[in-house]
Amino acid sequence: MSHLSDAQLQELNHTLREQKKDLERHFSANGEENSALGESLTDSTGDLSTVDNHPGDLGTEVFERERDLAVNDSLHEELDQINGALERMNKGTYGVCQICGRDIPFERLQAIPYTAYCVDDTPERSLRSDRPVEEQVITPPPTGAGEGRQEYDRRFDDADAWDSVEEYGTSNTPAMAAKRDVEDYDDGM
């Protein structure tokens, strides 16, 4: 017999069904059925060719697609957990930790209604172990790289900085270099 009252179970059941509806709505509007995530990058952007695009534009498109795929993966996982919680409700095992068998407090179920674990037995979520392939070929920076780079960070942080740099030349035109006044040219108008 569950430690949760009928009113508590109804509240949690309603919350789970609303979350499930929201996720299914997300997937029907943005998900697999009519999503551009299954298409090629060229098809999804609507461009006939990517030749005239700046590489940064393509990088942005790839980043956006990867982000959308990661969000969808996370939402699929949440939907699976919600379906599991609804199934446990039907079996009468909802609200009981799957590891130790103790009752999960109602407050925890309100916060995370699809949880199957008490706080003590919640599986540790770690970062994914698959890393980008580029990390295998990138060489580490040489020893000492970056050391002392701020040693001279205030060298030209004074009023004479421009005078020191100007010695090497400027992009001024010869007329500007002669320091002629603009008013001299306005007389003829």
Residue 100 predicted with pLDDT over 70: yes
CB 131 within 8 A of CB 152: no
Better-predicted residue by pLDDT, 69 or 19: 19
The 10 Å Cβ neighbour count of residue 13 is: 16
Q: What percent of the chain has pLDDT over 90?
A: 32
Q: What is the pLDDT of residue 132?
A: 75
Q: What angle do CA 133, 136, 137 make, to 5 degrees?
A: 105
pLDDT in tens, 118-177: 999 888 877 667 777 777 777 776 776 666 655 655 555 556 677 777 777 777 766 666
Long-range CB contacts for residues 157-160, cutoff 8 Å, separation at least 24: none
Residue 56 predicted with pLDDT over 90: no
Both structure tokens of 3: 């430690």
Better-predicted residue by pLDDT, 49 or 68: 68
Of 32-36, 38-42, 81-85, 99-103, where does mean pLDDT reach its minimum?
A: 32-36
Q: What is the pLDDT of residue 33?
A: 45
How much is the CA Rg of the chain, to the nearest whole Å? 32
Measured in degrees and rounded to the nearest 5, phi and psi for residue 96 equal -120, 130
Q: What is the pLDDT of residue 78?
A: 94
CB 88 within 8 A of CB 116: yes
pLDDT band at 67 (very low <50, low <70, confident <90, very high): confident
